[in-house]
Chain A
Amino acid sequence: MANFFTLAQAWRPMLDPLPIGEYWPFLLIPLALGISIAYKAVRVGSREAYLKSVVMMTTQIVLAMIAMGVAAYLFIWFVIPAITPISA
């Protein structure tokens, strides 16, 4: 975290890349939110249902990505070694 603040002091917004380091997976949340805001504005039927739809879609995207990440982890670390024995 200290490294982040040190780098951030030299950061010029919009000109230099954000020194986000290892925290980059958290950018999934604004990505999902932005997609939901724009997509549901076109898709949803009424203004009253808009905010609820945006929150719902954002949550669905984030949870689905986490679930796929867990599934990929389990597949790589447990399923693949089980079906392809590696000789020493």
Chain B
Amino acid sequence: MGRSLSPAPIQPIIQTSMSDSPQHTTPGTSDSVNREVFRPIAGILAVLFPGAGHVYLKQTWRGVGVAVGVLGLFFGGILIGGIDVVDRNEDTIWFIGQAFVGPIAFATDRYHQTRLKAHEKVVSDGKYIPGAMRTGNPGEKREMRQNIPVWEPTAGGRPPNSKSLAHPNEIGTLFATIAGMLNLIAILDALFHRESRAEIDLNAPADSTDPEAEPSAKPAKEGA
């Protein structure tokens, strides 16, 4: 009955959705540190190598964390399922996710397609015609015939890699694809960087740490 109808005073709380911890804001600097800043060079570096974008932004520990996590998952997936889990031609949908790991994923696929796979052996009038490209089976050996890699049945032959099946293939593919998805998050974070997650070093000079910082933004402390 005796409640006041006047609204509660609005507290000047600055909050972002990208942080797990309370924001470190200072009067007069909150606008600049909470703004997303477009960092194209950091984004490109993050695409080229996992974590490189954050290292460029002087957040080395974040870059190392991203690199360890993404590359650990990617190469862990290859360790579990074999290189067969990275296959642009046979597992195209999965490779779309893996591609976000960057040039490493494309190089892995290139090596798989050109060095490990070979064509089904098809001979017509003494000429080798490239058949379907595939992984070798046990009892086959990869041989070059008229500059075309083909599978030749050989007693005791062992192809350079094995086709992965069942759980190792599923889990290895999952590892490598999740690595790409996580690196996409890191790429976007480096590309649209938000200063507010970093601890602010009030004593640091304005242009000492951030290579792309705008003059109004407070620099992020290294390792913060």
Contact = CB atoms under 8 A, between A and B. Distances in A.
Given A18-B79, A40-B65, A49-B21, A34 B84 contact: no
B20 A20 contact: no
A38 B70 contact: yes
B168 interface: yes
B107 interface: no
A62 interface: no
Interface string B6-19: 00000000000011
A17 B73 CA distance: 15
Interface string A5-37: 000000011111111100010010011001111
A27 B178 CA distance: 14
Given A24-B167, A42-B186, A34 B175 contact: yes
Contact of B165 (A17, A36, A41): A17
Given A30-B76, A34-B175, A42-B66, A15 B21 contact: no
In the A-B complex, the 3 residue pairs with the closest CB atoms:
A38-B69, A41-B65, A45-B21
B171 interface: yes
B82 A15 contact: yes
Contacts of A17: 80-82, 84, 162, 164-165, 168-169, 172
Interface residues of A, number: 30
Contacts of B162: 15-17
Contacts of B116: 15
Interface of A: 12-20, 24, 27, 30-31, 34-47, 49-50, 53
Given A14-B79, A45-B20, A53-B20, A31 B66 contact: no
Given A24-B168, A34-B76, A38-B185, 16 more contacts: A14-B79, A14-B82, A15-B162, A16-B162, A18-B81, A18-B168, A20-B80, A30-B72, A35-B178, A38-B68, A39-B69, A45-B20, A45-B197, A46-B199, A50-B61, A50-B65
A52 to B, nearest CB: 10
A27 B171 contact: yes
Interface in B63-92: 63-66, 68-70, 72-73, 75-76, 78-84
B9 to A, nearest CB: 27
